[in-house]
Amino acid sequence: GDSVFAWRGGAVIFTGYNKLSGNMINIEHADNFLSKYHHLKKILVKKGQLVSPGELIGIAGKRGRATGSHLHFSILQNNQHLDPLPYIKKARRVSAPQPVQPIKVPINKRLAIRSFPMDGEVYIDGEYRGRTPSDVQLTYGEHFVEVDTGGKYVRFIGRLWIDQNSGHLYVADLTQTPNQ
């Protein structure tokens, strides 16, 4: 059967069964309105429960005296039956839930950068990040590391991959400049 939704917000004042209407739900609303839902295959709310407009309350069926699966829907105000069509047209259309797209959150990892000799300028992905020894926080993925102590040592350039398996220490071992 099709899903049955609450016409307006309100309080469930009756759920039950009789031979004529089958499974039924009655919901009391503001301004002395009452909505009734009959011939349900399944009732998904309980007496006393508060429901929101468009909330799933039951599954349509053919319980009671019915020739086929359908919903008998009634609106009353001050115990007088009203034509439900104008009210249904004004009701908020309930659309199927849209799939939720996951939010991508960058994962970071703390890393200690050391160099031999010490006191080298550290650049990660071209951005200056202090001098060694240095602690940095990097997102998972590939990074390029440069360490420059100047003068007697060749600038160190290396690739670094950060993930759940990578360590927490990166050591740049600089070599002396030839002819020094």
Tens-digit pLDDT profile for residues 1-17: 789 999 999 999 999 99
Locate the DSSP E strands across 72-174: 72-77, 80-82, 108-116, 121-124, 127-131, 134-139, 141-148, 156-162, 169-173
Q: Which of 101, 132, 100, 103 is nearest to 115 (CA)?
A: 132
Q: What is the pLDDT of residue 95?
A: 61
Owning domain of residue 129? 108-173
Residue after which a domain boundary falls, among 60, 90, 120: 90
Residue 6 neighbours by CB distance under 10 Å: 24
> What's the rounded Cα separation, in Å, for the pair 43 and 27?
13
- Which residues are 109's β-sheet partners? 138
Q: Do 130 and 169 lie in a common domain? A: yes
User: 151 or 122: which carries more pLDDT confidence?
Assistant: 122
The total domain count for the chain is 2
The model's pLDDT over 127-168, given as tens digits with 9 standing for 90+, comes to: 999 999 999 999 999 999 999 988 888 888 988 898 888 888
